[in-house]
Amino acid sequence: MEELKQVILNTQETEEDRVTGLSLRPENLTDFIGQKDLVANIRIAVEAAQQRGEPLEHMLFSGPPGLGKTSLAHIIAHEMKSKITVTSGPAIERAGDFIGILTNLERGDVLFIDEIHRMSKTVEEFLYPAMENYKIDFVVDKGPYAKTINFNLKPFTLIGATTRSGLLASPLRDRFGLAFHIDFYEPDDLATIIMRSSVKLGVDIDQASALEVALRSRGTPRIANRLLKRVRDYAQVKGGGLTVRAAVVKEAMARLDIDTQGLDRFDRKILTVIRDQYSGGPVGVEALAATLNEEVDTLIDVVEPYLLKMGFLRRTSRGREITEKARQQL
C-alpha cells in the first residue's frame, strides 16, 4: 500500500499519465491555467515570431516534474502551426540517430527534448552548430580517410525541458534565446485545472471539493489530475456514482494516507528519519538515501523540491535539516 501512495504523489510521468494526458492537456495558451507571467511572455514571443514570419527562438523550460513543460511545448507548436517532434535526452544515444531527427525537420518545426541535461556530451556537441547556424558537420571514417560531411538544416525551434538546470553545460544553456523557470502552482489554479479535467472525465465535482483535492496536490497539475482520478474511483465504488463532494475527497485521501499538506507516508518517513536518527540534521543526501534505501536522484528531483517549497526541509552546505514547521507537522 505504501508503494501505491508513493506512485500517486510521485511527479514522474507514468503510463496512465501519458494516456490520459493527451485528453486533459490544454491545446492553446488561452486554455493554459496558471503561470500567468510565463504565458504572457510566451504569447509575446510567439506573436512576434509570427509577425516576422520566422521560427520561434530556442526555448528552455526548467522546473520540477509535472508542472507542464511538455504541455507548453505542444501548445507552442500548435500556436506556431508547426509539427512537433518529441524525444528525450537519454533516448538519443548516438550522433547518427540525432542527425536523422534534425535532417527530417521542416522549416519552423519544433523539436522538444525532455530531460535535456541527460543528453550525452557527444550528441550535445552536434547540437551547438545546429542551434546557432542550422548546420551540422559529421565526420566519417578515421585517420587519413576521415572526411567531413556538411548538413544544412532548415530553421527549427528547439524546446528543451530539464528538472536539473544546474547540470546543463554553459555552452548549451547560453544558446537558448528564451529561458523560463516553471514554479509550483497555487491551490486556486490547481482547483481550476481540476474543474476543467472533471468535465472531460465525466466527474461532477464542486469548487469546494476541487480545492480539497488541490490542497493535497503538491502544487503540481500532474498530481492533481491523478488524485482526481483516484477520488473518482472512490466515489464510483463507495458512493455509487461520479458525484464528488468534500466528504468523499477527505475519505479517499484518508485511505490513501495523504494529509492536507500533500504529504504522504514516504514524505513523513523522510522527515521522521532526519528528526529521530540524525537529530534534525544536517545530514548528507547520500546518507539519507542509504538510510531510506532510495535513489539519490529520486530524493533530489522528486521529493525535495516540494518539501523545500513548503518550508519543511532546509538545504544547507552541510546537508539537509528539518524545520520547526516540519516538527509541528509531524
Active centre residues (catalytic): 69-70, 114, 163, 222
| Lookup result for grid cell 531510506 | 292
Instruction: Select from 187, 253, 249 the least CA-distant residue to 215.
Output: 187
How far, in whole angstroms, is CA 164 from its chain's centroid?
11
Instruction: Determine if the peptide bond prior to 282 is cis (ω within 30°).
Output: yes
Q: Which residues of 155-172 are buried (b: 16+ CB within 10 A; e: fewer)?
A: ebbbbbbbbebeebeeeb
What is the C-alpha to C-alpha distance for residues 24 and 17, in angstroms, rounded to an integer? 10
Reported for 209-212, long-range contacts at CB under 8 A and 24+ positions apart, including other chains, are 209/244, 209/245, 209/246, 209/248, 209/249, 211/187, 212/246, 212/249, 212/250, 212/253
**What SS3 state is found at 110?**
strand
